[in-house]
């Protein structure tokens, strides 16, 4: 192994920069040349690849977003696109690639490895935390804290006006963010795709709380809930019970901001672990942290295995309201 490249792909996640920094500096300290790829796989196809030195990653640890930029590339899904991408790596004799992203990004990495023999390591980075093989993904903790801070503020105005609020958090296919945010914010109900959302039961509970003098409520809903997004849930609740609500969609605000201490530590450990895996000649894999220890799993586990929600948190998601 003589030269490696780094790219960030899919939705950005706070802590990606800390991960890039750790990867670059660990690789340079190990005598490797390092290249940065701009705009994920699209940049690989378009040859947006430049050498990186230690100074290029100065003063980025605390910044959200990704200095390498990110993209979702359609062209990379085609064989022609991947041929161009591999050629751009080969002409620089880059033999290892570190990919920060989610399961879609790891599929792309796996294709590069399978078709062209490029050694790839995936670093789980998505605010959704929905990747099997790592207890946490880079960005999740920051997103949860950002959402919590926002909901604490919503709580003030909900209480002042005796209102029902429905707050939507991110999580296209998974309720990890909603579950932690809902519990942390003391939400009266938490609606996630992994559990059945029972609109009539929710209406009954909100009404019975009103009768006992609880005049405001907050429902936290994951954007991927099977009953729909926050606006759809609000309509269903009103149609069923006449209860009116206000909707707040937190959206992309959850993807930005300075990473928390946990995300900085996680990203730094995983950036280091990715380089170690390349130096060890490990088979293409995803690095993760499980029970506090660095782990390696085949990339395909990221999309073939389903990460389960913490059962205790699911239990706590009702009954504490």
The residues of the shown chain that bind ligand F6P, judged by CB under 6 A, are 10-11, 126-128, 170-172, 223, 255
Residue number, 103 or 188, with CB nearest to ligand F6P: 103
List the one residue out of 166, 57, 115, 122 whose CA is nearest residue 282. 122
Confirm if 9 and 70 have CB atoms less than 8 A apart. yes
Residue number, 178 or 299, with CB nearest to ligand F6P: 178
List the one residue out of 267, 276, 285 whose CA is nearest residue 20. 267
Minimum distance of ligand F6P from residue 239's CB (angstroms): 26
Confirm if 57 and 21 have CB atoms less than 8 A apart. yes
Burial of 185 by CB count in 10 Å (0-12 exposed, 13-18 middle, 19+ buried)?
buried
Q: 293-298 and 164-169 as β-strands: parallel, antiparallel, unpaired?
A: unpaired
- Alpha helix positions (H), 62-186: 79-90, 103-116, 140-161, 176-184
Residue number, 111 or 168, with CB nearest to ligand F6P: 168
Q: Is 34 helix (H, G, I), strand (E, B) or coil?
A: strand
Residue number, 256 or 276, with CB nearest to ligand F6P: 256
Sign of CA dihedral 138, 142, 34, 85: positive
Minimum distance of ligand F6P from residue 128's CB (angstroms): 5
Q: Is 43 helix (H, G, I), strand (E, B) or coil?
A: helix
Give the C-alpha separation, 131 to 151, whole Å: 25
Residue number, 9 or 26, with CB nearest to ligand F6P: 9
Closest-by-Cβ residue to ligand F6P is: 11
Minimum distance of ligand F6P from residue 12's CB (angstroms): 7
Minimum distance of ligand F6P from residue 143's CB (angstroms): 8
Annotated catalytic sites, by residue?
128
Q: What would the 3-class secondary structure string for 273-287 be?
A: HHHHHHHCCCCCEEE
Minimum distance of ligand F6P from residue 20's CB (angstroms): 17
């Amino acid at each position: 192994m003589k030269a490696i490249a780094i790219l960030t792909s899919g939705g950005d996640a706070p802590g990606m920069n800390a991960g890039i920094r750790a990867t670059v500096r660990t690789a340079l300290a190990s005598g490797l040349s390092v290249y940065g790829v701009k705009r994920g796989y699209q940049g690989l196809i378009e040859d947006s690849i430049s050498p990186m030195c230690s100074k290029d990653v100065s003063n980025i640890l605390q910044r959200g977003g990704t200095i390498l930029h990110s993209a979702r590339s359609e062209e990379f899904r085609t064989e022609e696109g991947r041929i161009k991408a591999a050629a751009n790596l080969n002409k620089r004799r880059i033999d290892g690639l570190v990919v920060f992203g989610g399961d879609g990004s790891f599929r792309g990495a796996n294709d590069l490895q399978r078709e062209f023999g490029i050694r790839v390591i995936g670093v789980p980075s998505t605010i959704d935390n929905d990747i099997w093989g790592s207890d946490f993904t880079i960005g999740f903790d920051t997103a949860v804290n950002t959402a919590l801070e926002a909901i604490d503020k919503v709580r003030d105005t909900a209480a002042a006006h005796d209102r029902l609020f429905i707050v939507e958090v991110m999580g296209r296919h998974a309720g990890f963010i909603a579950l932690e945010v809902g519990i942390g914010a003391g939400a009266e109900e938490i609606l996630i795709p992994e559990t059945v959302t029972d609109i009539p039961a929710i209406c009954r509970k909100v009404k019975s709380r009103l009768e006992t003098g609880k005049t405001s409520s907050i429902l936290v809903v994951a954007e991927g809930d099977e009953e729909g997004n926050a606006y759809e849930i609000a309509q269903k609740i009103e149609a069923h019970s006449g209860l009116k609500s206000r909707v707040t969609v937190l959206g992309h605000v959850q993807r930005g901001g300075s990473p928390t201490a946990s995300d900085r530590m996680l990203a730094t450990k995983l950036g280091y672990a990715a380089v170690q895996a390349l130096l060890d000649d490990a088979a293409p894999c995803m690095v993760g942290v499980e029970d506090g220890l660095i782990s390696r799993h085949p990339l395909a586990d990221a999309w073939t295995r389903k990460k389960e929600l913490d059962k205790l948190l699911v239990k706590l998601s009702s009954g504490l309201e």
